[in-house]
Structure formats: C-alpha cells, structure tokens
C-alpha cells in the first residue's frame, strides 16, 4: 500500500516522524522548515476548499428523480419526437408528414414498376453512320486477290485489319473463314479465294472521305489477274496478313489489280458514301449467300487459276501446279462474278471492322 | 412491515448499484444522495466554477446511470467508476471549449488564465489564498492538476485516483508530489501574511 505523505505531514509534527515516515515524506520535504511550509500549504488548501464548496439546488435533485421515475418508453425522447413529427395532432390527415411521405414513396415505387420495362432491342437506336475509310486510287489498284492452296489447317485468313496504329481482330471472320477454306481444300485442292485488303487498310485516308470508288471494283474488265505459284514456301501473300499466313505448303496466288487509275471522280460526301455503302451491303449480303453456296459445291473444286491465261505485264509471277492445272478451265465470267462477290464481301466486312473500331473508340473515350 | 424494510445506509455503493440494476429505484436515490454533493463540486471545480454548468453535468451524469445501469461493472469500485465517468465528461467539454476557443466564440470565463508571474509585493496584497490557488491550478499541466484535485478536493486515495484515471499508482504519486511541491512554492508568499 502506498503511504500518503500528505496525511503524515498533516497529522504529525516533524520530530514525531519515524524513520519510515521520514523516508516517505522525504519525497516532498527535506527538512523541518520545508515540512512546516508543506503542512501550512496543505491545511490552507483544505480550508480554501471547504469555503469554496457549493450545494446542489433542490431543482437538480427533482429533475434527476423525475427522470428516474419516468417510464422507460418516455425516456426514449428521440423516438417520441419522431412520432410527434410524423403524426402531429393539430393537422389534418393529408397534412401529416407520415401520410405525405408514404404517398411519395408509393408514387416513386409505382413509377419504377410501371416504367422499368425490359429493354426492347428493336427500339434501340442504331449507329447508322459508319465512317467509310476508303482506299485511295493508287491503293485500290493494288488490291490483291489471292487463291491459295493450303495444307491442312490452313488458317491464312485476314483476321487482323491494320489501320494506322489500331489493330482490330475480327473474331467472327477468323472463325468462319477457316472452316470455309478447309472445306474447299478438302474438296480436291481447290484454291480458296481470299481477298486481302491489308494494303487498302494501310493507306486508308482518315479524313472520312472515300477517295477510291467502289463501283470500279465491279468493272471486272479492268481486273488484271496475276497467278503466282509458290513451290514450297508459305502462302504467297506478299502483304501483311497479321502473321496468320505462315502455313506451310504450296500456294497459288492470283493477284488482281483493279484498274482504277483512270478514275477521276471527285471525292464523295459522307452521306452519299453511306447510302452507297448500305446499297452495296445489301447486294453483298445476297451475293455472299450465293457465293457460300457455290463454294460448298464441287464446282469450284475443278477451278484452277493456272488456266487463267493472262498476258498482261502486271503479272508478277506464275506458278502452276501440274496436277491441278489440268483439271478444269475456269470460266472467266464465273470467276469474275465470284471475284466481284468476294470483293463486295470484303468491303462489307471492312466496313464492319471500321464501324466496330469507331464504336470501341467511342466506348473507350466514354470510359476515360 | 417495517421489519422488512431495507436499511440502505448499510449498503455499499456496489450493493446499491446492484439493487438498482435489479429495478430498485430507492437504491438509486440513496446512491444519488451520497454522491450529489461530491459530483456537483467536482464539476464546479473542473468546469471553471460555473454553477449552472456543474448542475447540468451532474444531472447528465446521473441520468446516464439511470438509463444505462448495466454499464457499471459490479466488480469495480462505484466511486472510482463514477469519478472516471465524470472526468471523461469534463475532458469532452474541454475539447468542445477548445474548438470554440479556436473559432473565437463563447470562450468560457476563466478559460484562459493570464500567464503572469506573481510578484511577492503584489501577491501579498491579495488576501484570497483560494483565488490564487485556483489560478495556479489553471496554469498547471492538466495531468498534474487532475491528480492534485482528486487527491485534495475530492479526497480520493492514491489507489482510487489511479483507478479513476486508469494509470499506475506510482505515476499518481509522482504527479501528486510534483503538483503539491510546485503549488507550495508558488503560494509560500501567503504564509507570512496569513500567519
């Protein structure tokens, strides 16, 4: 137990202290004089405190006892105040906040229930202003149509469109076209017709105008067919195909240059281009269906690009595969039709790519 | 029936509190009677000698006990628990006043004691030892002041002070000695005039 030095100092004289008490008080006082001073101070302090005391008023006790005798329910004053606020006695029922608040709640809930209908996709707005980024005149002439005879698992398709720094991968195209291509390959060494538009995409003007005419693509008379026969190399697509064209095996490439160099038509306005694009898209859809039907037919299996004789100077290289070359002669009209359809399909798919890239950019911009 | 009447005066504080927790309101009345004067003086001294504030705080303290008697741990000393609750209420009030003081509004009287040195010739002229004691206490560090006040004003023992303030008893002793010695030295000038 801690001995309290103050009690010793107050109750005893210095000469009365025992050795133990002296040790205790030595923390406060060192000698008799200090002992007396401390004694005087402590006594004075107690006197001052006695004179400074106050008495509690009777009202204080009454208030505390009132609180003590209150029922517990009444002690929850804040709940009482809430009740008084919600149900004031001096107002009519429609003026009471509880009624008004419940009415507002019902209205809000009812509004949400009525107007919170499931989303109707048919009524959703469509972005019908695709930006046509079309190749220039020079680029249009370099459009390449390649027919490749690929080995098993030939997936040398364009799945990637390079437009400047953006790279958009069209998964649907990648999934659909290999199956199509493989079916053709299985049908007796038929060259799949692949339209690459990488060159077109690389040089796309980004001003929103389509400088290269699409109608010229239909002019098959101006098309120059180039046959390229790769002996043992990869598919001979000289253009960038996003790294998908490294399948081994022989390949025959027909490069077709579309003669658009004489096109002098002025740049078209975006609305005009949009209208044309829609029209072409419809045409391409119908043609595409026919093309797919033809592809699955064994007719194309007898096609051989080597039989297409071209004396044009633009022909870069010719590679003929002897076993394929002797199979059938491709009807030029038929082939031209197929090529046209293929081109339109390519344009359509490219437009889809561009639209999707725009939407993605807009979406990213929104997120940022 | 008088034979069965409880003699609350023989009950300890803890027994009375236990009875009140069981619903005996008379037990609380006895508790209140025991500590009303203690607490109002405690608040009066701690809250700048403001009588109205002291009564309000006393009222709040006891109403808290009325509303939530279960907060008291029956294993503890009721006296030290009561003083610790009261002391915490005062600390909260100090914080509030400090905020008001910083904003410049409603500074309570006596809150900012003048930091003047008491010169011997002027100090002896002041007859009131109690006033000077208050002033010196206000100048003192809070931790020393509260120990001194609990010891000398409220009459708590060192162990009770230690339990009330939740500090070591040795720390209480050290602080108390420091406060007592400092005050005794500063107020020594009154000794010659008063004797």
Closest alpha carbon to A298 in A176, A193, A186, A179: A186
The reply to whether B28 touches chain A by the CB within 8 Å rule is yes
Torsion of CA B74, B76, B78, B79, to 10 degrees: 170
User: Would you state the torsion angle of the CA atoms of residues B150, B151, B154, B156, taken in this order, to the nearest 10 degrees?
Assistant: 100
pLDDT > 80? residue A153: no
Radius of gyration of chain A (CA): 48
Given an 8 Å threshold on Cβ–Cβ distance, is B184 in contact with A41? yes
* A42 to B152: CB separation less than 8 angstroms, yes or no: yes
Are B32 and A64 an interchain contact pair (Cβ–Cβ within 8 Å)? Answer: yes
Q: Are B70 and B21 in contact (CB under 8 A)?
A: yes
Please state, in angstroms and as integers, the Cα–Cα distance from residue B155 to each residue in A1, A6, A281, A286, B22, following that order.
17, 11, 100, 105, 30
CATH 1.10.10.10 boundaries in chain B: 115-195
Chain B residues within 8 A of A45 when measuring between CB atoms: 133, 152, 183
**Partners of residue B37 in chain A, C-beta under 8 Å:** 53, 55-56
- Residue closest to B26 by CA, chosen among B12, B36, B16, B14: B16
Q: For the residues B80-108, what does the mean pLDDT come to?
A: 78
**For the residues of B144-189, what is the DSSP string, one character each?**
HHHHHHHHHTS---HHHHHHHHTS-HHHHHHHHHHHHHHHHHHTTH
Query: Residue B121, CB half-sphere, CA atoms under 13 Å: how many?
Result: 0
- How confident is the model over A2-28, as pLDDT tens digits? 557 778 888 888 888 888 888 888 877
Long-range contacts of B64-67 (CB under 8 A, 24+ apart): B65/B28, B65/B31, B66/A64, B66/A67, B66/A68, B66/B28, B67/A75
From chain B, pick out residues whose CB is under 8 angstroms from the CB of A23: none
Whether residue B186 contacts residue A19, with contact meaning beta carbons closer than 8 Å, is answered with no
Distance separating alpha carbons of residues B17 and B69, to the nearest angstrom:
8
Which contacts (CB < 8 Å, 24+ apart) does range A67-75 have?
A67/B62, A67/B63, A67/B66, A68/B25, A68/B28, A68/B29, A68/B66, A69/B25, A75/B67
Label residue B12 exposed, middle or buried (CB < 10 Å: 0-12, 13-18, 19+). exposed
Res B89: pLDDT: 92
- Measured CA to CA, the distance from residue A289 to residue A295 in angstroms comes to 10
Chain B (38-77) residues lying within 8 Å, Cβ to Cβ, of chain A: 40-41, 44-45, 51, 54-55, 58-59, 62-63, 66-67
Are residues A269 and A296 in contact, defined by beta-carbon separation less than 8 angstroms? no
Nearest CA-CA partner of B187 in B113, B124, B142: B124
Q: Which residues of chain B form CATH 1.10.1740.10?
A: 9-107
> Looking at beta carbons, which residues of chain B come within 8 Å of A53?
37, 41
Distance CA B62, CA B35 (A): 10
- Give contacts of A 43-62 with B, CB under 8 A: 44-46, 48-49, 51-57, 59-61
pTM of the predicted model as reported, rounded to 2 decimal places: 0.45
pLDDT tens digits for range B163-178 = 989 899 889 988 988 8
How much is the pLDDT for B125? 46
pLDDT band at A134 (very low <50, low <70, confident <90, very high): low
Cβ-defined contact of B36 to A27 (cutoff 8 Å): no
Q: What is the per-residue pLDDT across A46-66, written as a single tens digit (0 to 9) for each?
A: 887 777 788 888 899 899 998
- Among residues B23, B160, B158, B153, the alpha carbon closest in space to that of B78 is found at B160
What mean pLDDT do residues A228-240 have? 40
A135 has pLDDT over 70? no
Among the listed residues B136, B113, B109, the one whose alpha carbon sits nearest the alpha carbon of residue B49: B109
Choose among B116, B23, B26, B44: nearest CA to B86: B44
In angstroms, the separation between the Cα of residue B184 and the nearest Cα of chain A is 6
* CATH architecture observed for domain B115-195: Orthogonal Bundle (1.10)
In the structure, what pLDDT confidence band is assigned to residue B142 with cuts at 50, 70 and 90? confident
| CATH code of the domain made up of B9-107 | 1.10.1740.10
What pLDDT shows up at residue A231?
Answer: 40
A301-354 tens-digit pLDDT: 444 444 444 444 444 444 444 445 555 666 788 888 888 888 898 998 888 888
> Which residues make Cβ contacts (< 8 Å) with residue A254, sequence separation at least 6?
A145, A146, A147, A191, A225, A226, A227, A228, A305, A308
Pairing outcome for strands A224-230 and A166-169: unpaired
C-beta atoms of B177 and A28 within 8 A: yes
* Under 8 Å between Cβ of A321 and A252: yes
Please answer yes or no on whether B158 and A4 come within 8 Å at the CB atom. yes
CA distance A264 to A1: 113
Whether the per-residue pLDDT at B2 is higher than 70: the answer is no
Residue B170: list chain A partners with CB under 8 A: 2
Mutate one of B45, B48, B180, B185 to test the A interface: name it (highest A CB count within 10 A). Answer: B180
Paired with B83 in beta bridges are: none
Q: Concatenate the DSSP letters of all residues of A189-220 into one string.
A: SPPEEEEE-HHHHHT--SSS-B-S-SGGGG-G
pLDDT at B56: 93
Instruction: Flag whether the ipTM exceeds 0.90.
Output: no
For residue A83, the distance in angstroms to the closest alpha carbon of chain B comes to: 21
Instruction: Say yes or no: B187 contacts chain A, CB-CB below 8 A.
Output: yes
- CA A306 to mean position of chain CA atoms: 46
A1 to chain B: closest CA residue: B159
């Amino acid at each position: 137990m801690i001995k309290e030095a103050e009690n010793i100092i107050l109750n005893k004289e210095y000469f009365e202290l025992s050795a133990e008490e002296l040790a205790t008080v030595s923390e406060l006082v060192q000698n008799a004089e200090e002992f007396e001073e401390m004694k005087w101070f402590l006594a004075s302090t107690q006197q001052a405190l006695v004179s400074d005391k106050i008495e509690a008023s009777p009202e204080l006790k009454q208030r505390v006892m009132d609180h003590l005798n209150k029922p517990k329910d009444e002690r929850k004053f804040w709940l009482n105040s809430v009740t008084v606020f919600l149900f004031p006695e001096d107002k009519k029922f429609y003026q009471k906040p509880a009624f008004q608040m419940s009415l507002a709640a019902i209205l809000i809930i009812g509004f949400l229930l009525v107007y919170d209908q499931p989303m109707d996709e048919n009524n959703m707005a469509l972005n019908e202003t695709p930006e046509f980024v079309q190749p220039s005149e020079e680029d249009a002439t370099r459009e390449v149509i390649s027919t490749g005879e690929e080995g098993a698992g030939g997936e040398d398709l364009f799945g990637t469109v390079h437009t400047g720094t953006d790279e958009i991968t069209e998964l649907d195209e990648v999934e659909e076209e290999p199956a199509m291509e493989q079916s053709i390959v299985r049908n007796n060494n038929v060259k799949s017709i692949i339209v690459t538009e990488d060159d077109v995409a690389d040089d796309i003007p980004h001003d929103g105008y389509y400088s290269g005419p699409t109608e010229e693509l239909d002019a098959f008379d101006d098309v120059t067919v180039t046959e390229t026969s790769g002996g043992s190399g990869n598919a001979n697509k000289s253009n960038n195909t996003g790294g998908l064209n490294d399948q081994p095996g022989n390949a025959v490439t027909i490069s077709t240059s579309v003669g658009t160099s004489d096109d002098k038509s002025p740049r078209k306005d975006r609305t005009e281009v949009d209208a044309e694009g829609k029209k072409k898209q419809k045409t391409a859809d119908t043609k595409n269906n026919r093309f797919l039907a033809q592809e699955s037919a064994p007719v194309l299996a007898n096609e051989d690009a080597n039989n297409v004789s071209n004396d044009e100077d633009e022909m870069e290289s010719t590679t003929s595969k002897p076993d394929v070359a002797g199979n059938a002669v491709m009807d030029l009209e038929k082939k031209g039709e197929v090529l046209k359809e293929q081109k339109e399909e390519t344009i359509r798919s490219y437009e889809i790519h561009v639209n999707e890239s725009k939407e993605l950019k807009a979406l990213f911009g929104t997120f940022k | 029936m008088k034979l069965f009447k409880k003699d609350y005066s023989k009950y300890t504080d803890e027994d009375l509190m236990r009875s009140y927790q069981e619903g005996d309101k008379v037990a609380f009345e006895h508790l209140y009677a025991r500590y009303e004067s203690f607490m109002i003086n405690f608040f009066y001294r701690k809250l700048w000698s403001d009588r109205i504030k002291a009564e309000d705080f006393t009222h709040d303290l006891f109403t808290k006990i009325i509303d939530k008697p279960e907060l008291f741990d029956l294993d503890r000393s009721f006296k030290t628990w009561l003083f610790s609750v009261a002391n915490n209420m005062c600390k909260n009030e100090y914080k509030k006043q400090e905020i008001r003081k910083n904003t410049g509004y409603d500074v309570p009287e006596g809150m900012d004691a003048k930091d003047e040195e008491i010169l011997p010739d002027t100090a002896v002229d002041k007859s009131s030892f109690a006033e000077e004691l208050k002033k010196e206490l206000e100048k003192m560090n809070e931790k020393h002041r509260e120990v001194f006040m609990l010891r000398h004003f409220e009459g708590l023992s060192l162990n009770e002070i230690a339990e009330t303030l939740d500090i070591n008893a040795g720390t209480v002793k050290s602080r108390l000695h420091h406060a007592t010695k400092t005050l005794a030295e500063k107020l020594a000038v009154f000794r010659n005039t008063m004797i």
